[in-house]
A and B are shown apart, each in its own frame.
Chain A
Amino acid sequence: MAAGGGGVADPLSPAGVPCAFSPLNQAYFALASADGLLRVWETANNRLHQEYVPSAHLSGTCTCLAWAPARLQAKESPQRKKRKSEAIGTSNQIDLLALGTAVGSILLYSTVKGELHSKLISGGHDNKVNCIQWHQDNGCLYSCSDDKHIVEWNTQTCKVKCKWKGDNSSVSSLCISPDGKMLLSAGRTIKLWVLETKEIYRHFTGHATPVSSLIFTTIRPPNESQPFDGITGLYFLSGAVHDRLLNVWQVRSENKEKNAVMSFTVTDEPVYIDLTLSENKEEPVKLAVVCRDGQVHLFEHILNGYCKKPLTSNCTIQIATPGKGKKSTPKPIPILAAGFCSDKMSLLLVYGNWFQPIIERVVRTPVMNSEAKVLVPGVPGHHAAIKPAPPQTEEVESKRKLGENEISIEERLGALDIDTKKEKDDLPQTNSFPVLLTQGLESNDFEMLNKVLQTRNLNLIKRTVLRMPLHAVIPLLQELTKRLQGHPNSAVLMVQWLKCVLTVHASYLSTLPDLVPQLGTLYQLMESRVKTFQKLSHLHGKLILLITQVTASEKTKGMACPAQKAKLVYEEESSEEESDDEIAEKDSDDNWDEDEEEKESEKDEDLNEENEEEEEDAEEKDEENGEEDRDVASEKELNGDSDLDPENESEEE
């Protein structure tokens, strides 16, 4: 958390951590994390294979890495030829890993020996190395750097073979052509170099920001009618920083290329790209692009000429935690890298955090023909690797509709529920609370302590207290003492912590010889606070009564509105009055009076019944107010009198 974050990252540097699958069979996955460590994972069983700490890992962190091409006894494919380097041995294991660092040096790390093989320094770069590429055939290494130069290294003698200026600004990416005679380099513009003479063969312009990735997508030109000179007609792909488009370029016989042939859109800046090379005209190129937002986009496209509209992905993979029940929303887990296996069908996905990534193999590449899929561990077609962290489920999103012959998402979700019932659903966490807590207590870091102590999850509190080291118990109690004095809102949480500490570590605390002086202040503090408990409860009772009264009066107010209608009844009586008048003509005055009185009393009763309470209240209030007014007035008079007196006296004095 602290190592990676916080640093003000260069806005124009490519995102993501340097990582790569080993070539040929993807047996290993190398990842250089932000804390400067190189870790090599076994993809088959997700185990840590090796860990290496470069000596200058604090100042010169690893910026890029590249596996040496595999050395094979027999040629298998034209682009992966046997690499000669007899100095190390002739086993066909993949062993060398080149690491470029932020200070400009390049380290060659041997995974067989598990140690540093050699170091390429002298005459090389004096600034951050941006990209390293191995030559397929002759064991050379090409690197480019922020110091504007491209360097060709001889890896056996560890000497510079050639160094030339590659761009006016920093050179950010490199790629070697399939036949090994050309080199693509990119800063802001992409240049194609002839490797023998180090001359520029072609320019490609089109990205506004530094190009972060370059990769050739074809090894043969699509139309075989023309003679193939090794480079003309090939397609390559480029992605840039802050750019959501991957451009595809074609090397043509014309000199200057203005625009890209086509482009792929993705949701965020690409951080890792892998593809299967298409070897003939009919075979589509399969492309897996990992974006900064943690999604993988899969494309499948036959490269044949222009396409104006940006292509959207055939399939998008996103990994999420299973939600707890229906209410909670699943949290996304970022995918770090994705690579096609050598059979071009299955896909290796690396996800989680860089500290402990989870590597999983998806057997049937979802891009093949299905359009939407939910991958669940245990469902056929999905082969889950052994995972150290709580297993996750994947969701494959798609913007299109479901295929008819697919199993519906509901069914798959059903399978998912059964599968994940017993499993935890937290994100894999590296910043565990006990560690944070002890660190916070030791360095007295306010923010860190806040982060830990302000959790509301009781279970989490309990687990944290259980796992915290014993020597941190007393400092924690002292910290809690400080925090107990605040507002009840936050202090209630602290009491939970305190209770947990007391219950979990009771035996430890009771063995402390100086427990009483240690906890004395805490005890006194709490005792002084609860002194007001009785009075407070008393006050609370009063307040409750008051509030209920208020709500009750509000209710009666609500009732009063329909009660207004009662007055209409009174108006109806006016019609009766007319009849009364008629009667009055006949009857004596006395009788009329009596009637009137009766009716009036009836009216009053009605009204009284309806808004009795309200009137009474109002009357009372009026009276009260009147009295109070009078009181105040008299008080003021008194005060006024008394006001005068002392001043007069003082004046007299």
Chain B
Amino acid sequence: MAGYKPAAIQTYPVLGEKITQDTLYWNNYKTPVQIKEFGAVSKVDFSPQPPYNYAVTASSRIHIYGRYSQEPIKTFSRFKDTAYCATFRQDGRLLVAGSEDGGVQLFDISGRAPLRQFEGHTKAVHTVDFTADKYHVVSGADDYTVKLWDIPNSKEILTFKEHSDYVRCGCASKLNPDLFVTGSYDHTVKMFDSRTNESVISVEHGQPVESVLLFPSGGLLVSAGGRYVKIWDMLKGGQLLVSLKNHHKTVTCLYLSSSGQRLLSGSLDRKVKVYSTTSYKVVHSFDYAASILSLALAHEDETIVVGMTNGILSVKHRKSEAKKDSLPRRRRPAYRTFIKGKNYMKQRDDILINRPSKKHLELYDRDLKNFRVSKALDRVLEPSCTIKTPEITVSIIKELNRRGVLANALAGRDEKEISRVLNFLIRNLSQPRFAPVLINAAEIIIDIYLPVIGQSPVVDKKFLLLQGLVEKEIDYQRELLETLGMMDMLFATMTRKESTSVLQHTSDGFLENKKMES
């Protein structure tokens, strides 16, 4: 006797957004914790050293939060005016911050009063950073200048006056202690070398630059300003590699994920976009409640911190994955007996006799195998099946139709059962992937139950619903047919053009079909 062949379940491509590795990764965060700050959060910076505390600059204060604390561990509030850009040193022990009154202050994490005060800027200092050798600080200010300071004797070493508007962002190279980059509202990003007294590379961003970022290798530079994020190749002397325009308002902050594979940008349009640094396509997007001014990721992307204009700091922690690597469960003795000899290798003189492996059949398959067609249909019309996997239901209906027993299976149902079938039809008839099978089924149902129509108001109502749906679908298809006509016209002009030209290639099959039909 030939083995029973289970009913083929037709799979269809899933509609809608595809679930990628990235969406899984970036969705794997807990609900955000919200912390209210005193003013717009202009900067968030993570300490590079464990325990990875972060400094939040808002209004005239700098708060330092622990990774899981919602109360600040420490507060620096000795600013006369708004503080800007509190940044940790690479060893996490020093913190530097600019201020609206033009001062730059250096703090010890454990202390309270500033260790050093660098006076020299005449206007607000919006950007400060430590150079790679840890002993210098770079600052950019609204007086159009960029200054390099020496920490040990708190002296100004160099001043660059090349920008012609506010300097609002900057970044020091992680590898070379002499290189740093600043972006300005004069639309340029300049790379300075402290050995030369002047900028070595200058690139034109096209909009006031709000944020700059150097890749860890130092070879690529990212600048954000206006609605654009631009990637520059510094090794080629500042060649524009990519220009991204995925936000609809000004991009205010940039951050690189810890692996360096993903670039994040935050914008006033209340979105954070995640780009792949290989394809520069948006792979994920976060929504926030207010315009975003600052953004930072913790070590290993464990935490995403976003600061907004309304003074709310949103902190998202990654869901812990500790449960995954639990010990393999010890199986019962019966199981061990069951798998005994499974991995026995065939010896030379052994003759291996395969026992026909027992196929596991689904319940509906068992029914089908035993020709209980009505029951098989009942099984796939269970709500659990029709809602989750309508394709199985449709496949079974198709199989029954192939066997020619669909009428039998559908016949002899009471009011409740028939309304269940009709419900399924109403829900799925308009889906193009199911339509051919279900239209057939609907016709059979009508044929069977035509004589008894009018007995049950419930069923009558379902039929009315079905009719409404079919009417809508027909209207829709009529519209589609008209549109197809329009597109044919368009395509026809295309082909005429092509035929007039010497090159005569009709690449697309359906075009040919169209011509055949016409």
Cα distance A440–B246 when bound, in Å?
10
A8 at the interface (CB under 8 A from B): yes
A439 at the interface (CB under 8 A from B): yes
A568 at the interface (CB under 8 A from B): no
- Partner of A55 from B142, B467, B475, B487 at Cβ < 8 Å: B142
Interface residue tally for chain B (C-beta within 8 Å): 95
A560 at the interface (CB under 8 A from B): no
- Partner of B466 from A543, A647, A649 at Cβ < 8 Å: A543
Q: Which residue of B lies closest to A485 (CB)?
A: B15
Cα distance A542–B463 when bound, in Å?
11
A87 at the interface (CB under 8 A from B): no
Contact between chains at A488 and B443 (CB < 8 Å): no
Interface-lining segment among A110-118, A229-237, A287-295, A514-522: A514-522
Q: Which residues of A contact B439 (CB under 8 A)?
A: 532, 535-536, 539
A465 shortest CB reach to chain B, Å? 14
Given contacts A3-B268, A639-B372, contact A543 B467 (CB under 8 A): yes
Contact between chains at B460 and A7 (CB < 8 Å): no
Q: Which residue of A lies closest to B267 (CB)?
A: A443
Contact between chains at B475 and A550 (CB < 8 Å): no
Contact between chains at A59 and B473 (CB < 8 Å): no
Q: Which residues of B contact A520 (CB under 8 A)?
A: 508, 510
- Partner of B309 from A7, A105, A542 at Cβ < 8 Å: A7
Interface-lining segment among A133-141, A584-592, A619-627: A619-627
Cα distance A421–B99 when bound, in Å?
59
Q: Chain A's interface: helix, strand, loop or mixed, by majority?
A: helix
Contact between chains at B454 and A617 (CB < 8 Å): yes
Q: Which residues of A contact B250 (CB under 8 A)?
A: 58
Interface code A489-533, partner B: CB below 8 Å = 1, 0 otherwise?
101100110110011001001100001110110111011111111
- Partner of A546 from B80, B430, B463, B474 at Cβ < 8 Å: B463
Contact between chains at A444 and B453 (CB < 8 Å): no
Given contacts A523-B487, A635-B408, contact A516 B450 (CB under 8 A): no
Cα distance A516–B493 when bound, in Å?
11
Contact between chains at B269 and A443 (CB < 8 Å): yes
Q: Which residues of A contact B474 (CB under 8 A)?
A: 533, 536-537, 540
Interface code B437-464, partner A: CB below 8 Å = 1, 0 otherwise?
0011011001000111111000010011
A637 at the interface (CB under 8 A from B): no
- Partner of A58 from B247, B273, B309, B476 at Cβ < 8 Å: B309
Interface-lining segment among B36-44, B330-338, B341-349: B36-44
Given contacts A510-B490, A533-B481, A621-B452, contact A123 B467 (CB under 8 A): no
Given contacts A543-B470, A546-B453, contact A126 B310 (CB under 8 A): no
B282 at the interface (CB under 8 A from A): yes
Cα distance A175–B366 when bound, in Å?
87
Cα distance A50–B122 when bound, in Å?
28
Contact between chains at B436 and A535 (CB < 8 Å): yes
Given contacts A59-B40, A122-B101, A547-B463, contact A530 B493 (CB under 8 A): no
Cα distance A427–B101 when bound, in Å?
45
A370 at the interface (CB under 8 A from B): no
- Partner of B490 from A509, A526, A533 at Cβ < 8 Å: A509
A549 at the interface (CB under 8 A from B): yes
Cα distance A336–B287 when bound, in Å?
31
Contact between chains at B291 and A3 (CB < 8 Å): yes
Cα distance A59–B248 when bound, in Å?
19
Cα distance A172–B479 when bound, in Å?
61
A-B contact pairs, 7 of them (CB 8 A): A492-B472, A492-B476, A515-B491, A522-B487, A536-B474, A540-B474, A547-B464
Closest 4 CB pairs of A and B: A439-B248, A632-B412, A7-B310, A553-B454
Q: Give 4 new A-B contacts, CB below 8 A, not counting A533-B474, A550-B454.
A: A59-B40, A532-B436, A533-B478, A540-B471
